[in-house]
Structure 1
C-alpha cells in the first residue's frame, strides 16, 4: 500500500453498507487517473422518481473501494459515526454560548434590544476530523474471487462496472464506458471451484446474444503456481511497484458463429 498525505486521499463515504463519492473533483480524478467510473445515483430533488438524469453522488462497488484503499489512493469515511459526532453537542455548551452572545449584545448596545434573536450555529465537523475507517474495514473483500478478477482486469486498463443487467458479476470495457461498449461478461471463480456445463453453455450463448464474450477466471494458489508456469510462462504476471506477483488464469467463451 502506498502512503499518501491525508489531504490528498479521496474520501469515500461509507453509508449503510454502501460506498459513495460526493466530490466532483474526486469523481473526475477517479475516472481520469484510476479507471474507476462508478455509477451516478443522485436524482433530481424535484423529480426524484425518474432515473433518466442522474448526478452526484457516485456509488462505488466494494471491489472499487477496496482497490483504491489498498493502493493508498482513498480512505473510507464512516459517515454514520461522523454524523453522530456533529449532533453530539452538549446542551450546556449551547446555553453557555447563547448567554455569552447575549452579554456581548448588552455591552455593545447598553440596553436589551426588543425582539432581537440570538442565534447559535453548531460548527460543522471538518474533513480532517471525520471518522476514517482503517483498511481492515474492506479487508474482507480482498480474499474473494470477485476482487481477484476485478484487480486482474483493472491492472490491464479495463474499466469495470456491475454486470447484473447481463447476468454476470462485472462488465469489462476496453476504455471509458462513455466511449466504448463492454467486451466481456465477467465472472470470478475460485481456482478449484467447479461450475456446470449448463452454466458454461448458457453464459456463452448469453454473451453471444449481446455481442460480448463470457470471461471466467481465478487466482492461482501458491501451491499450483509452478504447474501453471510449466504449462505457459505467459500466465505469470510481473509485479508492478509495491504489489506482489499476481498469478491469474482466465478463459473466454464464445458461442459458434460469434460476431
Structure 2
C-alpha cells in the first residue's frame, strides 16, 4: 500500500472550462432549483441542466424517462436531481434560486386548469407537426441511400408478385418514390407520433400556480458541513464530483468530464477526532482495488474550516 499527499490540483488534471455551445443565459443567470418532498432538489429546465453541467461542472443525476422509449433505463431524461452539496455550492456562489413545490401538493387541478392543459398540449403537438413538415424534405434527402435501397427492395418484390415493370434508372426511381413519400400525410407515417416533453409542471408553465422562492438551509450539522467543505475543495481544485454511494464512499472524483472518463478517486470524508474502524478501511480498500481506483481521504480539521487530503492505493504484494 502506498500513501502520499499530492497537490490536489495536480490530481485533478484539468481546468474548469466550458466546452460545447450553450444557450446564452448570461453571466448573471441563476438556475431554478425545485425543492420537493423530503427536501429533494430538482432542475427541470433543459437550459438550466445544460448550464450547470457545462459551466459549473455540477453533474447531478438525470432521473426521468423518455416518453418515446419509456421501458428502458439506459438513457435518462429530466428532471436533474442534485445532491445537497451541489445545490449548496451553487447557492454560495449566487448561481441558484430555490422554489418550493409545496403548492403543487396542496392543490389539485380544476376543470378550468384541465381545459388550459388540453389547449397547451394541442399547441405543442401542432408545433411538432409544423417542425416535422419543415424538416421532412431535408431529412429525406440526407437518408437518400437508405431509402433508395428500401425502394429498390419494394420494387423487386412488386415485380415478383404483381409483374410490375422495373424502373431501371436509380435516379428515376428516387424521384418517383421521393415524391410519393413526401406526399404522404403525416398521420399515415407509422413511426411519427407526438411526444410529450417533461416539464416542471404544466400549471407552473401556464402561470396557473406560483411556486414561492425559499431559502435553502444546508448544511444543518457537523457531518453535512464537513461534506460541503470537502465537495467545495474538490470542485475548486478542478475535479468533477458525483455521489460515491454505489462504492461505499462519500464522493467520486473525476479528472475530466464524467460523461467521457471514469472516476479516478473514491473520496471518503473523515472528521477530526472521528473514530474510524479498521474493517471500514479494509472494505474501502478492497472495493477501490476491484474498481481500479485510488482512495482520497478527506480529513476535515479546525472545526470544518480546512481539509487535508491523503491518497492511498493498494498494490499487489509479490
* TM-score normalised over the length of structure 1: 0.67
Q: 1:141 to 1:31 in 2, by over 3 A?
A: farther
SS for the counterpart of 1:189 is: strand
Q: Which residue of 2 aligns with 1:9?
A: 30
Say which of 11, 27, 46 aligns to 2:49.
Answer: 27
Q: Which residue of 2 aligns with 1:255?
A: 314
**Higher RCO (CA < 8 A, seq sep 6+):** 2
1:140 matched to 2:162: no
SS for the counterpart of 2:87 is: helix
CA displacement 1:22-68 (0-9 Å, x = unmatched)? 11111111111111011111113365442112111111111111111
- Cα distance between partner residues in 1 of 2:208 and 2:270: 42
Q: CA deviation at 1:219?
A: 2.2
Query: Where do 1:187-202 residues align within 5 Å?
Result: 187-202=268-283
Say which of 146, 153, 159 aligns to 2:240.
Answer: 159
1:41 matched to 2:80: no
The answer to whether the 8 A contact 1:148-1:218 is kept is no
Query: Where do 1:95-134 residues align within 5 Å?
Result: 124-125=206-207, 130-134=211-215
- Cα distance between partner residues in 2 of 1:8 and 1:83: 28
Say which of 206, 213, 230 aligns to 1:149.
Answer: 230
The answer to whether the 8 A contact 1:162-1:169 is kept is yes
CA displacement 1:90-132 (0-9 Å, x = unmatched)? x9xx8xxxxxxxxxxxxxxxxxxxxxxxxxxx893389x5311
- Cα distance between partner residues in 2 of 1:11 and 1:34: 14
Q: Which residue of 2 aligns with 1:106?
A: none
Q: Which has the larger radius of gyration?
A: 2
SS for the counterpart of 1:165 is: helix
Q: CA deviation at 1:85?
A: 7.1
Aligned-pair Cα RMSD in Å: 3.0
Q: How many residues align?
A: 198
Q: CA deviation at 1:254?
A: 0.7
Q: Which residue of 1 aligns with 2:263?
A: 182
Q: Which residue of 1 aligns with 2:174?
A: none
Q: 1:215 to 1:151 in 2, by over 3 A?
A: same
The answer to whether the 8 A contact 1:82-1:131 is kept is no
Q: Which residue of 1 aligns with 2:294?
A: 213
The gaps in structure 2 that reach 5 residues or longer are 1-25, 113-202
* TM-score normalised over the length of structure 2: 0.55
The answer to whether the 8 A contact 2:229-2:306 is kept is no
Q: CA deviation at 1:257?
A: 3.1
CA displacement 1:182-207 (0-9 Å, x = unmatched)? 01111112111121122212212221
